[in-house]
Protein backbone atom coordinates (compact mmCIF):
# COMPACT_ATOMS: atom_id res chain seq x y z
CA UNK A 1 0.00 0.00 0.00
CA UNK A 2 1.24 3.54 -0.78
CA UNK A 3 2.07 5.74 2.22
CA UNK A 4 -0.04 8.91 2.68
CA UNK A 5 1.67 12.15 1.61
CA UNK A 6 2.07 15.01 4.12
CA UNK A 7 -1.25 16.75 4.87
CA UNK A 8 -1.68 20.54 4.79
CA UNK A 9 -4.79 22.43 5.94
CA UNK A 10 -5.96 25.70 4.42
CA UNK A 11 -8.36 27.83 6.48
CA UNK A 12 -9.66 30.11 3.76
CA UNK A 13 -12.45 31.29 1.45
CA UNK A 14 -13.69 30.03 -1.92
CA UNK A 15 -13.15 32.06 -5.13
CA UNK A 16 -15.87 31.13 -7.63
CA UNK A 17 -13.54 32.19 -10.45
CA UNK A 18 -11.03 29.56 -9.34
CA UNK A 19 -8.00 31.88 -9.33
CA UNK A 20 -7.38 32.55 -5.63
CA UNK A 21 -8.60 31.26 -2.24
CA UNK A 22 -8.96 27.55 -1.59
CA UNK A 23 -8.90 26.80 -5.32
CA UNK A 24 -5.37 28.25 -5.64
CA UNK A 25 -4.32 26.56 -2.40
CA UNK A 26 -5.51 23.11 -3.49
CA UNK A 27 -3.89 23.41 -6.94
CA UNK A 28 -0.63 24.36 -5.23
CA UNK A 29 -0.83 21.51 -2.70
CA UNK A 30 -1.47 19.09 -5.57
CA UNK A 31 1.50 20.41 -7.55
CA UNK A 32 3.74 20.24 -4.45
CA UNK A 33 2.87 16.62 -3.70
CA UNK A 34 0.96 17.12 -0.44
CA UNK A 35 -2.63 16.24 0.44
CA UNK A 36 -4.81 19.34 0.93
CA UNK A 37 -7.55 19.66 3.57
CA UNK A 38 -9.93 22.64 3.84
CA UNK A 39 -11.66 24.58 6.60
CA UNK A 40 -13.90 26.83 4.50
CA UNK A 41 -14.52 30.30 5.98
CA UNK A 42 -16.61 32.02 3.30
CA UNK A 43 -18.01 31.68 -0.20
CA UNK A 44 -17.18 34.66 -2.41
CA UNK A 45 -19.03 35.59 -5.59
CA UNK A 46 -15.92 36.45 -7.58
CA UNK A 47 -14.58 36.57 -11.13
CA UNK A 48 -11.67 38.18 -12.94
CA UNK A 49 -13.20 41.63 -12.36
CA UNK A 50 -13.70 41.45 -8.60
CA UNK A 51 -15.90 40.29 -5.72
CA UNK A 52 -19.64 41.05 -5.77
CA UNK A 53 -20.83 38.98 -2.81
CA UNK A 54 -19.67 37.15 0.32
CA UNK A 55 -21.50 34.53 2.41
CA UNK A 56 -19.68 33.63 5.62
CA UNK A 57 -19.65 30.11 7.03
CA UNK A 58 -20.82 29.98 10.69
CA UNK A 59 -17.77 30.41 12.96
CA UNK A 60 -18.40 27.17 14.87
CA UNK A 61 -18.51 25.25 11.57
CA UNK A 62 -15.08 26.64 10.61
CA UNK A 63 -13.64 25.50 13.95
CA UNK A 64 -15.33 22.10 13.62
CA UNK A 65 -13.72 21.52 10.20
CA UNK A 66 -10.27 22.09 11.74
CA UNK A 67 -10.88 19.63 14.57
CA UNK A 68 -12.43 17.07 12.23
CA UNK A 69 -9.48 16.81 9.86
CA UNK A 70 -6.72 17.33 12.44
CA UNK A 71 -7.99 14.61 14.79
CA UNK A 72 -8.65 12.01 12.08
CA UNK A 73 -6.37 12.72 9.11
CA UNK A 74 -3.51 14.47 10.96
CA UNK A 75 -1.73 17.59 9.71
CA UNK A 76 1.93 18.45 9.05
CA UNK A 77 1.24 22.18 8.35
CA UNK A 78 -1.63 24.68 8.25
CA UNK A 79 -2.18 28.07 6.64
CA UNK A 80 -4.78 30.80 6.64
CA UNK A 81 -6.21 32.90 3.82
CA UNK A 82 -9.46 34.89 3.90
CA UNK A 83 -10.79 34.71 7.49
CA UNK A 84 -13.64 37.21 6.98
CA UNK A 85 -14.53 38.15 10.57
CA UNK A 86 -13.45 38.47 14.21
CA UNK A 87 -16.00 35.80 15.13
CA UNK A 88 -14.23 33.27 12.88
CA UNK A 89 -10.76 34.15 14.25
CA UNK A 90 -12.04 33.91 17.84
CA UNK A 91 -13.67 30.53 17.13
CA UNK A 92 -10.68 28.93 15.42
CA UNK A 93 -8.09 29.96 18.05
CA UNK A 94 -9.05 27.32 20.67
CA UNK A 95 -9.35 24.70 17.92
CA UNK A 96 -5.80 25.47 16.73
CA UNK A 97 -4.51 25.16 20.29
CA UNK A 98 -6.38 21.91 20.88
CA UNK A 99 -4.75 20.17 17.91
CA UNK A 100 -1.28 21.74 18.31
CA UNK A 101 -1.27 24.06 15.30
CA UNK A 102 1.12 27.01 15.67
CA UNK A 103 3.77 28.10 18.15
CA UNK A 104 3.75 25.91 21.20
CA UNK A 105 2.37 23.02 19.12
CA UNK A 106 4.10 20.70 16.68
CA UNK A 107 2.37 21.83 13.45
CA UNK A 108 3.86 24.82 11.56
CA UNK A 109 1.29 27.59 11.01
CA UNK A 110 1.52 30.14 8.17
CA UNK A 111 -0.74 33.19 8.61
CA UNK A 112 -1.41 34.97 5.32
CA UNK A 113 -3.38 37.97 6.63
CA UNK A 114 -5.59 38.38 3.54
CA UNK A 115 -7.55 41.62 3.89
CA UNK A 116 -8.67 42.50 0.36
CA UNK A 117 -8.71 41.20 -3.20
CA UNK A 118 -6.39 42.72 -5.80
CA UNK A 119 -9.39 44.86 -6.86
CA UNK A 120 -9.75 46.31 -3.36
CA UNK A 121 -12.80 44.27 -2.31
CA UNK A 122 -12.76 43.77 1.45
CA UNK A 123 -12.17 40.14 2.58
CA UNK A 124 -11.56 40.82 6.30
CA UNK A 125 -13.77 43.07 8.43
CA UNK A 126 -12.02 46.10 9.96
CA UNK A 127 -13.30 44.89 13.33
CA UNK A 128 -11.23 41.68 12.89
CA UNK A 129 -7.83 43.42 12.88
CA UNK A 130 -7.39 43.30 16.66
CA UNK A 131 -8.16 39.56 16.69
CA UNK A 132 -5.73 38.98 13.81
CA UNK A 133 -2.96 40.87 15.63
CA UNK A 134 -3.70 39.62 19.15
CA UNK A 135 -4.78 36.01 18.58
CA UNK A 136 -3.19 34.77 15.34
CA UNK A 137 0.11 36.65 15.02
CA UNK A 138 1.52 35.33 18.34
CA UNK A 139 0.65 31.76 17.24
CA UNK A 140 2.20 32.06 13.77
CA UNK A 141 5.35 30.30 12.63
CA UNK A 142 5.38 32.76 9.70
CA UNK A 143 3.21 35.72 8.63
CA UNK A 144 3.15 36.76 4.95
CA UNK A 145 1.55 40.22 4.54
CA UNK A 146 1.55 42.23 1.32
CA UNK A 147 2.18 45.98 1.62
CA UNK A 148 -1.52 46.92 1.94
CA UNK A 149 -1.82 44.44 4.81
CA UNK A 150 1.36 45.83 6.41
CA UNK A 151 -0.23 49.29 6.42
CA UNK A 152 -3.51 48.02 7.90
CA UNK A 153 -1.77 45.99 10.62
CA UNK A 154 1.07 48.36 11.59
CA UNK A 155 0.16 51.75 10.11
CA UNK A 156 3.48 51.75 8.21
CA UNK A 157 3.30 52.81 4.54
CA UNK A 158 6.14 50.94 2.83
CA UNK A 159 7.55 52.73 -0.21
CA UNK A 160 11.07 51.37 -0.48
CA UNK A 161 13.39 48.64 0.77
CA UNK A 162 14.38 50.61 3.90
CA UNK A 163 10.70 50.93 4.91
CA UNK A 164 10.30 47.19 4.28
CA UNK A 165 12.87 46.49 7.04
CA UNK A 166 11.17 48.89 9.46
CA UNK A 167 7.84 47.15 8.80
CA UNK A 168 9.37 43.69 9.30
CA UNK A 169 10.56 44.73 12.79
CA UNK A 170 7.13 46.17 13.70
CA UNK A 171 5.39 42.99 12.53
CA UNK A 172 7.84 40.76 14.40
CA UNK A 173 7.09 42.68 17.60
CA UNK A 174 3.49 41.38 17.34
CA UNK A 175 4.74 37.86 18.15
CA UNK A 176 5.23 35.67 15.05
CA UNK A 177 8.40 33.59 14.85
CA UNK A 178 9.16 34.76 11.28
CA UNK A 179 7.87 37.59 9.07
CA UNK A 180 7.87 37.69 5.25
CA UNK A 181 7.13 41.20 3.95
CA UNK A 182 6.17 40.63 0.31
CA UNK A 183 7.36 43.21 -2.21
CA UNK A 184 4.95 42.68 -5.09
CA UNK A 185 3.20 46.03 -4.39
CA UNK A 186 6.44 48.07 -4.31
CA UNK A 187 5.51 49.25 -7.77
CA UNK A 188 8.58 51.48 -8.39
CA UNK A 189 11.01 48.66 -7.67
CA UNK A 190 12.22 46.93 -10.86
CA UNK A 191 12.40 43.64 -8.91
CA UNK A 192 9.94 41.87 -6.59
CA UNK A 193 12.00 41.64 -3.41
CA UNK A 194 10.45 39.72 -0.50
CA UNK A 195 12.09 40.19 2.92
CA UNK A 196 12.29 37.46 5.58
CA UNK A 197 13.03 38.35 9.22
CA UNK A 198 13.23 36.36 12.47
CA UNK A 199 13.98 39.16 14.92
CA UNK A 200 17.73 39.11 14.33
CA UNK A 201 18.61 38.45 10.69
CA UNK A 202 17.18 39.81 7.42
CA UNK A 203 17.14 37.43 4.45
CA UNK A 204 16.43 39.06 1.08
CA UNK A 205 14.61 37.03 -1.57
CA UNK A 206 14.97 38.87 -4.86
CA UNK A 207 12.96 37.90 -7.92
CA UNK A 208 11.98 39.27 -11.31
CA UNK A 209 8.99 41.58 -11.75
CA UNK A 210 7.05 40.27 -14.73
CA UNK A 211 5.13 42.87 -16.73
CA UNK A 212 1.69 41.24 -16.43
CA UNK A 213 -1.73 42.00 -14.92
CA UNK A 214 -2.38 38.28 -14.47
CA UNK A 215 -1.23 37.83 -10.85
CA UNK A 216 -4.54 36.81 -9.25
CA UNK A 217 -3.90 34.25 -6.51
CA UNK A 218 -0.19 35.01 -6.16
CA UNK A 219 -0.27 35.53 -2.39
CA UNK A 220 -2.25 32.32 -1.83
CA UNK A 221 0.05 30.32 -4.10
CA UNK A 222 3.16 31.61 -2.32
CA UNK A 223 1.82 30.83 1.18
CA UNK A 224 0.58 27.39 0.09
CA UNK A 225 3.87 26.40 -1.50
CA UNK A 226 5.75 27.54 1.62
CA UNK A 227 3.33 25.53 3.80
CA UNK A 228 3.84 22.45 1.60
CA UNK A 229 7.60 22.64 2.05
CA UNK A 230 7.21 23.08 5.83
CA UNK A 231 4.97 19.99 5.90
CA UNK A 232 7.80 18.04 4.26
CA UNK A 233 10.20 19.10 7.02
CA UNK A 234 11.94 22.15 5.52
CA UNK A 235 13.14 24.94 7.81
CA UNK A 236 11.41 28.31 7.40
CA UNK A 237 14.24 29.85 5.28
CA UNK A 238 14.35 26.70 3.10
CA UNK A 239 10.56 26.71 2.70
CA UNK A 240 10.45 30.40 1.81
CA UNK A 241 13.19 29.99 -0.80
CA UNK A 242 11.22 27.07 -2.28
CA UNK A 243 8.03 29.21 -2.23
CA UNK A 244 9.73 32.17 -3.91
CA UNK A 245 11.02 29.99 -6.75
CA UNK A 246 7.57 28.37 -6.99
CA UNK A 247 5.67 31.68 -7.23
CA UNK A 248 8.08 33.18 -9.79
CA UNK A 249 7.45 30.18 -12.05
CA UNK A 250 3.70 30.35 -11.35
CA UNK A 251 3.56 34.04 -12.37
CA UNK A 252 5.58 33.22 -15.50
CA UNK A 253 2.91 30.59 -16.34
CA UNK A 254 -0.10 32.88 -15.59
CA UNK A 255 -2.84 33.06 -18.21
CA UNK A 256 -5.65 35.49 -19.13
CA UNK A 257 -9.15 34.52 -18.00
CA UNK A 258 -12.34 36.56 -18.34
CA UNK A 259 -12.33 40.30 -19.00
CA UNK A 260 -10.08 41.22 -16.05
CA UNK A 261 -7.10 39.75 -14.26
CA UNK A 262 -6.14 36.13 -14.85
CA UNK A 263 -4.63 33.67 -12.33
CA UNK A 264 -1.09 32.55 -11.73
CA UNK A 265 -0.61 28.89 -12.53
CA UNK A 266 0.87 26.55 -9.89
CA UNK A 267 0.42 23.73 -12.37
CA UNK A 268 3.57 24.79 -14.28
CA UNK A 269 5.23 22.13 -12.14
CA UNK A 270 3.30 19.29 -13.77
CA UNK A 271 4.41 20.24 -17.29
CA UNK A 272 7.84 18.79 -16.68
N1 LIG B 1 4.56 40.84 -11.42
C2 LIG B 1 5.19 39.94 -10.64
N3 LIG B 1 6.23 39.23 -11.12
C4 LIG B 1 6.87 38.32 -10.36
N5 LIG B 1 6.55 38.06 -9.07
C6 LIG B 1 5.50 38.74 -8.53
C7 LIG B 1 4.77 39.70 -9.28
N8 LIG B 1 3.81 40.22 -8.49
C9 LIG B 1 3.91 39.59 -7.30
N10 LIG B 1 4.95 38.72 -7.31
C11 LIG B 1 5.38 37.87 -6.20
O12 LIG B 1 4.22 37.14 -5.78
C13 LIG B 1 4.18 37.01 -4.36
C14 LIG B 1 2.92 37.70 -3.80
O15 LIG B 1 3.04 39.05 -4.09
P16 LIG B 1 2.29 40.33 -3.54
O17 LIG B 1 1.66 40.96 -4.74
O18 LIG B 1 3.25 41.16 -2.80
O19 LIG B 1 1.17 39.79 -2.54
P20 LIG B 1 -0.41 39.51 -2.71
O21 LIG B 1 -0.58 38.59 -3.89
O22 LIG B 1 -0.79 38.89 -1.42
O23 LIG B 1 -1.05 40.85 -2.94
C24 LIG B 1 5.49 37.65 -3.87
O25 LIG B 1 6.48 36.63 -3.78
C26 LIG B 1 5.83 38.63 -4.96
O27 LIG B 1 7.20 38.96 -4.96
C1 LIG C 1 -11.47 33.89 -1.53
C2 LIG C 1 -10.27 34.71 -1.77
N3 LIG C 1 -9.20 34.54 -0.98
C4 LIG C 1 -8.09 35.29 -1.17
C5 LIG C 1 -8.03 36.23 -2.18
C6 LIG C 1 -6.80 37.07 -2.37
O7 LIG C 1 -5.87 36.38 -3.09
P8 LIG C 1 -4.37 36.91 -3.12
O9 LIG C 1 -3.56 35.93 -3.84
O10 LIG C 1 -3.89 37.29 -1.76
O11 LIG C 1 -4.47 38.27 -3.81
P12 LIG C 1 -5.09 38.69 -5.16
O13 LIG C 1 -5.21 37.50 -6.01
O14 LIG C 1 -6.40 39.30 -4.88
O15 LIG C 1 -4.02 39.64 -5.61
C16 LIG C 1 -9.15 36.38 -2.99
N17 LIG C 1 -9.16 37.28 -4.00
N18 LIG C 1 -10.27 35.61 -2.77
**Ligand 2 lined by 18 (C-beta under 6 Å):** no
For the Cβ of 114 lying below 6 angstroms from any atom of ligand 2, the answer is yes
Does ligand 2 have an atom closer than 6 angstroms to the CB of 218?
A: yes
Report the SS3 class of residue 127.
Answer: helix
Residues 6 or more apart whose Cβ sits within 8 Å of residue 44: 13, 14, 15, 16, 21, 51, 53, 54, 82, 123
ipTM: 0.97
Look up residue 5 and give its DSSP letter: P
pLDDT at 104: 86
Protein residue with least CA distance to atom 17, ligand 1: 184
- State how far the Cα of 44 lies from the Cα of 47, in Å rounded to an integer: 9
pLDDT at residue 88 tops 80: yes
> pLDDT value at position 222?
98
pLDDT band at 9 (very low <50, low <70, confident <90, very high): very high
Mind listing the pLDDT tens digit for each residue in 101-131? 999 889 999 999 999 999 999 999 999 999 9
Per-domain residue ranges of the chain: 7-144+217-259
Ligand 2 atom at minimal distance to the Cα of residue 114: 10
User: From the CA of 202, how far away is ligand 1's center (Å)?
Assistant: 19
pLDDT above 60: residue 268: yes
> How far is the centre of ligand 1, averaged over its atoms, from the C-alpha of 62 (Å)?
28
Taking the C-alpha atoms of residue 108 and residue 205, their distance in angstroms, rounded to an integer, is: 21
Distances in whole angstroms, Cα of residue 182 to Cα of each of 146, 158, 240, 259: 5, 11, 11, 27
120: alpha, beta or left? (left if phi > 0; alpha if psi -120 to 50): left
Residue identifier of the C-alpha nearest atom 10 of ligand 1? 184
Q: Does 160 have pLDDT greater than 70?
A: yes
pLDDT surpasses 70 at 272: no
pLDDT band at 27 (very low <50, low <70, confident <90, very high): very high
Q: Which atom of ligand 2 is least distant from the CA of 221?
A: 9
| For residues 188-212, average pLDDT | 97
pLDDT at 235: 98
Q: Is the CB of 266 under 6 A from ligand 2?
A: no
Ligand 2 and 219: CB distance under 6 A: yes
Backbone angles phi, psi at 122, to 5 degrees: -70, 130
The arithmetic mean of pLDDT across residues 36-46, rounded, is: 98
The residue-averaged pLDDT of 158-185 equals 98
Distance CA 118, CA 120 (A): 5
pLDDT at position 206 over 70: yes
Q: Is the CB of 81 under 6 A from ligand 2?
A: yes
Tell how far the Cα of 219 is from the centroid of ligand 1, in angstroms. Answer: 6
CATH for 7-144+217-259 is 3.40.1190.20
Q: Is 217 left (phi over 0), alpha (psi -120 to 50) or beta?
A: left
How far is ligand 1, taken at its centre, from the CA of residue 160, in Å?
Answer: 15
Which ligand lies nearest the alpha carbon of 117? 2
Alpha-carbon separation of residue 138 from 9, 141, 251, 270 (angstroms): 19, 9, 31, 36
- Find residue 62's DSSP bridge partners: none
Q: What is the mean pLDDT of residues 147-154?
A: 97
**CA 123–ligand 1 middle distance (angstroms):** 18
Does residue 213 carry a pLDDT above 70? yes
* Confidence (pLDDT) at 167: 98
Q: What is the pLDDT of residue 176?
A: 98
The length of the chain in residues reads 272
First to last CA, the chain: 26
Backbone angles phi, psi at 29, to 5 degrees: -55, -45
Torsion, Cα of 239, 110, 53, 86 (10° steps): -170
- Write out residues with Cβ below 6 Å of ligand 1: 146, 182-185, 192, 194, 207-210, 212, 215, 218-219, 222, 244, 247-248, 251
Q: Report percent pLDDT > 90 for the chain.
A: 97
| 132 pLDDT higher than 70 | yes
Give the residue-averaged pLDDT of 34-40: 98
pLDDT of residue 35: 98
The pLDDT assigned to 1 comes to 83
pLDDT at 271 over 90: no
In terms of pTM, does the model score above 0.90?
A: yes
Lowest mean pLDDT among 1-5, 9-13, 75-79, 217-221: 1-5
The per-residue pLDDT for 262 is 98
Confidence bin at 269 (pLDDT 50/70/90)? confident
Name the nearest CA neighbour of 136 among 105, 191, 92, 169. 92
Amino acid sequence: MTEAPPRVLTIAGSDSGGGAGIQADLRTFFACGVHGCVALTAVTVQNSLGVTGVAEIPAETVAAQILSVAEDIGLQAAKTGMLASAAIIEAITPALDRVGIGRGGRTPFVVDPVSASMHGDQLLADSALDALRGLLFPRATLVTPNLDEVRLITGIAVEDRADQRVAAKALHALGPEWVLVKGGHMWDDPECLDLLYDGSEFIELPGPRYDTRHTHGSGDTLASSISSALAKGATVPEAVRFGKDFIVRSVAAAYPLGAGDGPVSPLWRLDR
